[in-house]
Amino acid sequence: MSATPEMQHPGLVFALELDRAGGAKPLAWNELTNESSSPRWLHFNFTDAEARQWIQTHSGIDPLVVNTLLDEDSRPRAIHHGTGLLLTLRGVNSNPGENAEDMVSIRLWVEPDRIISTRRRKLLSVAGVRAALAEQQGPKSCSEVVVMLTQYLGDRMGPVIDALDERIEQAEFDFAAHVKAPYGGDFSALRRQAARIRRYLAPQREALERLSRETGNLLSDQECNSIREEADQITRYLEDLDLVRERAVLAQEELIGRMANEQNRRMYVLSLVAALFLPLSFLTGMMGMNVAGLPGTDNDAAFWLLSLFMLAVAAGILALFKWRRWL
């Protein structure tokens, strides 16, 4: 498929006419309103003003659906509206240099012979479906486009979830092996990342489950089963994310407990040292007063006698600690 006709308008990401055999041919901007008996997939960048204008005035879609297709803030959902299906899906951000949890969305209006989809940022799952069409191995109908797109979205989520699991295992290993200094930043970051991804996957599972139950005339039974399998896969991803969060919380609690124990041990040692030197400091302070009448000032052995007395006091204090099992 040549991309030349599609480049004639910046708001049109691509426009394809399916040949019902796994392939497609590109359409130019001025061909979007032409009559055709073949299914079409029109994919727009809704941030472009002319693309928005075309969807509003030339697509023939209900204004309520148009508002969803052009809405900046999207939430995964599946709603049947008349003879069509309004579908909003999200996928992990696999674009280079982007954070995976900063998920990107696609909004689709699906009719028996036409799909109009919109996006703001590039979604690599859409590029995967388009590449399959270029190789004559793509979807043959609009319903198959929906099924393949949900499968590609799920396939791209798997490596991200696996990477989170590997990171939490490595962080736990480093913590247990004292490879790093005690610090909870790794666990906090993993917990936040898992929470952000889960925030969008949970409603997407609900949307796919609803789509598999309320199909109307758009999806076949086999396609419904495929959608249901994708919903089950997302359920497993959610369970993995919950496990990552729980492991991160438990590791942080263990980290806090370990730090508290280390602090208590340090304070215990300091307390023992203070208890040992307090009476000795009292003796040295008292015998160091520069006043008349201080005993031993005229005795050459007074210093050694005082030192022996202080050693005896220190030995007595240590014996007391040992007897009370403080050491």
Contacts with 308 (C-beta within 8 Å, 6 or more apart), sequence order:
none
In three-state secondary structure terms, 77 is strand
Q: What is the pLDDT of residue 80?
A: 85
Q: Which amino acid makes up residue 250?
A: L
Return the C-alpha torsion angle 217, 17, 118, 91, nearest 10: 80
pTM beyond 0.85, yes or no: no
DSSP code of residue 34: S
Q: Which residue has the tokens 């204004």?
A: 63
Token pair of 296, please?
């031993």
pLDDT at 16: 93
- The per-residue pLDDT for 214 is 67
Note the pLDDT of residue 6: 46
In sequence order, which residues have a C-beta less than 8 Å from that of residue 18 and are 6 or more positions away?
A: 24, 38, 39, 40, 41, 133, 138, 139, 140, 141, 142, 145
**pLDDT at site 130:** 92
pLDDT computed for residue 216 by the predictor: 62
What is the per-residue pLDDT for 79? Answer: 87
Q: What is the reported pLDDT for 122?
A: 86
Q: What is the pLDDT along the chain (327 residues), one digit of tens a residue?
A: 444 444 457 889 999 999 999 999 999 888 888 887 889 999 999 989 999 999 999 888 999 899 989 988 778 888 888 888 999 998 887 766 666 667 888 999 999 899 999 998 888 899 999 999 999 999 999 999 999 999 999 888 888 888 888 888 888 887 777 655 445 567 888 888 888 888 888 888 888 988 888 656 788 888 889 999 999 999 999 999 999 888 888 887 888 887 888 888 888 888 888 887 888 888 787 777 766 667 767 777 777 887 888 888 888 888 887 887 776
Task: Please name the residues in contact with 114: beta carbons below 8 A apart, sequence gap of 6 or more.
Answer: 39, 40, 41, 42, 142
